[in-house]
Amino acid sequence: MKKLVLFTILSIFILSTIGCIESDNGADNNNNDYSSGGSDRVTSIQQINKTIENNSVLIEFGAEWCSACDRQRPIIEEIANEYKEKAEVMYVNVDMTPDIAKRFNIHSIPDSVVVVDINSGGEYVYMTENGDTTIQREKARFLGVTQKQRLVKTLEYAIENRTG
């Protein structure tokens, strides 16, 4: 019994450390170059905050070694290219910017979120999939490979929210 408990705890620890979560929705591509598309590679939290001042932002958290991130990448790039004039799409490499990953409490990737604003208390305001805003990222996150239509729907809500 003790071995089973120890094995379970160790397994949970390894999965949360490795992080990469896969879900099957038919996305399949192994393009490793985020810089070739329309999303901006994030290097600082200030870059995110400055962008949020003017636009709603879809932020994708991932890493080069993550196979699920490879499958999510073309979806994110397609959205970035389609929404160039309406919103921003940003990519955070959690290995290269661990401080940003920590700030957003990232434990598994790919992990996406749509940010609408920063409130007067300095907290991010997120758009949920049903069109509500929240400061609780857990209620607004997309974990694993996420279908384009779900991300676009949420991004549209965010754009509408900003333009009123």
Residues assigned a catalytic role: 66, 69
Q: Is 17 helix (H, G, I), strand (E, B) or coil?
A: helix
Helix axes 67-82, 148-163, angle to 10 degrees: 40
Among 29, 108, 143, smallest CA distance to 75 is for 29
Residues 6+ apart with CB under 8 A from 132: none
Token pair 């001042």: residue = 53
Looking only at the bridges linking them, the beta strands covering 111-118 and 88-93 are unpaired
**Count of helix runs (H) and strand runs (E) in the chain:** 5, 7
Token pair 């999965």: residue = 15
